[in-house]
Each structure stands twice: as structure tokens, then as C-alpha cells.
Structure 1
Amino acid sequence: MIAWAHYPYQGRVVLVTGAGSGIGRATARAFLEQGANVAVLGRRPEPLQETVTGFDAEHVQVLATDVTDTDALERTVSAVTARFGRLDVVIANAGTSEPSRIDTFDATAWERLRSVNLDSVIQLARLTAPLLRTTRGNFLAISSIAGLRGDWDQFAYNATKAAVNALVQSLALDLGADGVRVNAVAPAFTVSRLTQERLDDPEFSARLLDRVALDRVARPEDIARAVLFLAGPDAGYITGAVLPVDGGTSASSGTPRPVKATRSPTRKH
């Protein structure tokens, strides 16, 4: 089991984008473990099938969908409601990242980042808000602490995530009177297929861990547990929040860790 706690998600319907790997996969499996019906979205069906392996087919729906294609996304949302009859929780997790420097950046690169990280979130919210009003449900975006601070060579990615954070806060105001809660989880550097190569670099890994109070890199399951809580009834008075799930990374002002600071004898990545 991913979560220690038990949540009342039996019979609830959850949609997770970018569910073929990493945070999306862990989140989808976490909801399935809690008894939810889960629709998993991603560009390729094979990784999505891996995500739902071991779970009853009655409770899963695999939908190969490009979230940047608005028409396809609309058909996908309709397919979820046709299958399960309702929608209770939407997890906008699909995202992408690439380095960006202002002197070499071009419109094509911006389009790639913006269309996945921001535009698809807006379209998903537009398509699902009427359904979430009916169930008094939850819309939750997987953002990043990159939307709260700057990073070297990542200005475009950070800009998209900052926009997601502001989007979440504004939608929380617009939808709150209808009983719909809108929040975001903001992870720091998390183990995934996309980040593993950098984590395998000992120098980079050591420098990264020097910024993390808990002295380890996040695992996708760490983020999934926070999502389960925020979308559940125990968080019923939380909306418009951007919750850092970052091991204390954003607690720092940027001052380096003292050389003689106490550290764990071993580091777990």
C-alpha cells in the first residue's frame, strides 16, 4: 500500500493525466488501492497498462490521449463519464520540462512547454468543472516548487508552473461557492524516468541533497500521499492552496549547508 491512512474513495471516480509513469502512476495506483475507479490518461497505452496491472479491470479505464489535443481531451472526459457515470477527482499531472536560456529560446520550445504544462490544465478544468460541480468534487494540479522560486536555465518551465499556481488560486475562488475545491501539490526534484539520469551523476546528486532538509530525493509515492489527503474529506476546508511537498527544499533561503552540519550516515535516493 502506498498510503498509511485509509480514505473513503470507494465508488468515487478519479481521472489522472500523465499516468504512465512517475508521480502520475503512483497517484493512480494510490487511488486504486483506496477503492476508487480510476481513468488513467497518457499518450501511450502500454505504460498505462503497466500502471493498472494487478487491479480489477472493473475499476480501471485506460485512455491513450494527448492532453494538448483539446478535441481528444473532450472525447476522453466524455468516455470517463460514459463508463463510470460521474467524476469526483481530477488530477492534472501531465507535464514536461526542458532547459531554457533566454538568448537561445524560441517560440517552438515555448509552445511545447506551455501547451502541456499550462494549456492542457486550463482545458481539463474547463471540461471537468461542470461535472465536479455535480459531485462537489476536487480539481488538483501537480505543480512544482519551480513555480514558487527561480532555477538556473529553467525560466520557461518555471513560468508555466507559476502560472499553474495562480490558475489554481483563481479557480478556487470561482468554483468554491459550488463546493468544488481546487488545490495544487508542488513537488521538488522527484525520482522518475526523466530525472534518473541526472540522479545517477554523483556530483549532481550530492549538490541536490545539500538543498534538501530531509536528506533524500522525493519518491513518487511521497507526492501521491499528499494528493490523497488534499482530495479527501479531511482536507475539506482547504482550497486555493499550493502545498510544497519538497523535503524542506523551499524552506531554505539558499544559504549553503554548513560543512560540519549533522548528516545521515547514508543517503537514500
Structure 2
Amino acid sequence: MNLKNKVAYITGGTKGIGLGVAKTLLEKGMKVAISGRSEKSVANAIEALGKENVIGLVSDVGELKNEEEAINRILEKWGKLDVVLANAGVGHFAPVDELSSDKWNQMINTNLNGVFYTLKASVAALKKSKGYYITLASLAGTNFFATGAGYNATKFGVVGFTQAAMLDLRKYDIKVSTIMPGSVSTHFNDNDPSDKDAWKIQPEDIGKLVLDLLLMHPRTLPSKIEVRPTRPDKK
């Protein structure tokens, strides 16, 4: 894929992994739309990225109508859509008997419904461009752990959804992959990125991984990628 002037849409693109990927793609000459749930977060991200070849959208991925409106804005602006990264996600961690139904539903709606709604809204455009749909899952999509029942459920679901969607869509020459990171230095789960996170995967590392996927020969599809820190922190 020649990336110059290709158009990408990144959900949850206002910070962390999404923002890191956006920076990487912009550096390669792509046009990038990012979305977030609040006008303030979107505005802050646009300021960090600069205004050239980037637009910010307010969208809750848990609402299909929001994602349809976001895709329409992108098509009105640039006329096409080549790459989608379904990155938006939330995490709440508690023993299953203590996990509230509200937090369960928020994770299901954002992490799982969101990847479906984003694909549902963008698939017609991706068919036209023979584009790429990438989901951001987690190693929690294959490794379960105590206090992770809700989060595990969504990420196991994202992995299964993405792999099945890959089989459905490759006949249209749409590539579909899921990336499953381990510990990443972001603000996820109220983490405060700092020097203590130097051992973790950095957002720009995921950006490079997305770039590698986009530059892969069309005949080859890495459909599920696990990525983890080389040397985990020893507490």
C-alpha cells in the first residue's frame, strides 16, 4: 500500500495508543481522522497533532448512529476511507461478584459493540478502497485473570469477532487484523505514564506495528498479532 494521501480513521484517537498511531501515520503522509467522546479531548489531541491532514470527530463508538455520522464526515472531507483502527476501549477491574452491571455494560458497549458498529459504518467505504480494518484487542483476549471477568469477556470477544470478520471480508480484498498488546505505557485504567513505564510497550511502537501491517505485501495477512514487553517489570 502506497500510504501517501491514504485516509485513516482511528477511534479512541485522542490519547495513548490511538494518538501514537495517528502521529505515525501522519508522518508517512496519510490523512487521519481521530475520534473521542468529548469535544475537549478531541481539541487537545488536534492541538498535539497539528491541523494539517487531520480532523477530529466527537463520537461514542457504542452508538451506531455516531459512527455512521463520523464516517460520513470523513467521506465528505476526503472522499474515501482506506484504513480503520478500532482502538476505543475502557477497562474496569473487580472480582466478578463485585463488578457492577453498569461497568459491565460500559465495557461491552464500548469494547465489543464498538468494534462492530465501527466496522458496520465503514465497511461499504472499505469495500470501495479495498482497505484495511484493524482492531485493538489485548493479551487479555487470550489470557484470563482474576478481577478481569468483564474485560476478558470483551477482549476475547474482540479477537473472535475480528478473526471471523477477516474470513467474511477477504473476498472483497479487505484486510482484517487484530493487535493484542500486553502492557502499554498509556493512561489506561488511571495509569500515569512516566519513567517507571520505560519497560512497557510505547504507543509509537504500536504505531510502527500498524505501519508494518499497512506496508505488508497484499498477498500476506498477519491476522492476529500478540505483542508484549521484551523484559517485563519485576516487582
Q: Tell me whether the two structures share a fold, i.e. TM-score over 0.5.
A: yes
Q: Which residue of 2 aligns with 1:88?
A: 82
CA distance in structure 2 between the partners assigned to 1:52 and 1:62 by the alignment:
7
Deviations 1:176-220 (A, max 9, x none): 0100000011111111123564777x8xx8xxxxxxxxx921111
Q: Which residue of 1 aligns with 2:223?
A: 241
CA distance in structure 2 between the partners assigned to 1:198 and 1:89 by the alignment:
30
Query: Per-residue deviation at 1:135?
Result: 0.5
Which amino acid is the alignment partner of residue 211 of structure 2? L
Query: Per-residue deviation at 1:43?
Result: 1.0
Equivalent of residue 31 in structure 1, options 20, 25, 29: 25
Q: Which residue of 2 aligns with 1:162?
A: 156
Which amino acid is the alignment partner of residue 34 of structure 2? V
Distance 1:199 1:84, change over 3 A: closer
Q: Which residue of 1 aligns with 2:9?
A: 15
Q: Does 1:116 align with 2:110?
A: yes
CA distance in structure 2 between the partners assigned to 1:67 and 1:236 by the alignment:
29
Q: Which residue of 1 aligns with 2:61?
A: 67
Which amino acid is the alignment partner of residue 127 of structure 2? R
CA distance in structure 2 between the partners assigned to 1:97 and 1:217 by the alignment:
18
Which amino acid is the alignment partner of residue 216 of structure 1? W
CA distance in structure 2 between the partners assigned to 1:194 and 1:177 by the alignment:
36
Equivalent of residue 76 in structure 1, options 70, 80, 90: 70
Check whether the contact 1:41–1:63 (CA below 8 A) recurs between aligned residues.
yes
Q: TM-score, normalised by structure 2?
A: 0.90
Query: Per-residue deviation at 1:137?
Result: 0.3
% identity of equivalent residues: 25
Q: Which residue of 1 aligns with 2:212?
A: 229
Check whether the contact 1:95–1:116 (CA below 8 A) recurs between aligned residues.
yes
Query: Per-residue deviation at 1:151?
Result: 1.8
Query: Per-residue deviation at 1:240?
Result: 6.5
- C-alpha RMSD over aligned residues: 2.3
Which amino acid is the alignment partner of residue 190 of structure 1? V
Q: Does 1:133 align with 2:115?
A: no
Deviations 1:34-64 (A, max 9, x none): 1111011001233333333365634111111
- Which structure 1 segments of 5+ residues have no match? 1-6, 206-214, 250-256, 258-266
Which amino acid is the alignment partner of residue 146 of structure 1? A
Deviations 1:229-258 (A, max 9, x none): 11x132533446221121258xxxxxxx9x
Structure number with greater Rg is 1
Task: Report the secondary structure of 2:91's partner residue.
Answer: coil
Q: Which residue of 1 aligns with 2:93?
A: 99
CA distance in structure 2 between the partners assigned to 1:56 and 1:220 by the alignment:
18
CA distance in structure 1 between the partners assigned to 2:222 and 2:172 by the alignment:
14
Distance 1:45 1:235, change over 3 A: farther
CA distance in structure 2 between the partners assigned to 1:98 and 1:238 by the alignment:
36
Distance 1:248 1:146, change over 3 A: farther
Task: Report the secondary structure of 1:53's partner residue.
Answer: helix
Written as runs of structure 1 = structure 2, the 5 A alignment for 1:162-181 is: 162-181=156-175
CA distance in structure 2 between the partners assigned to 1:184 and 1:103 by the alignment:
30
Q: TM-score, normalised by structure 1?
A: 0.79
- Which structure 2 segments of 5+ residues have no match? none
Provide the aligned length of Structure 1 versus Structure 2: 232
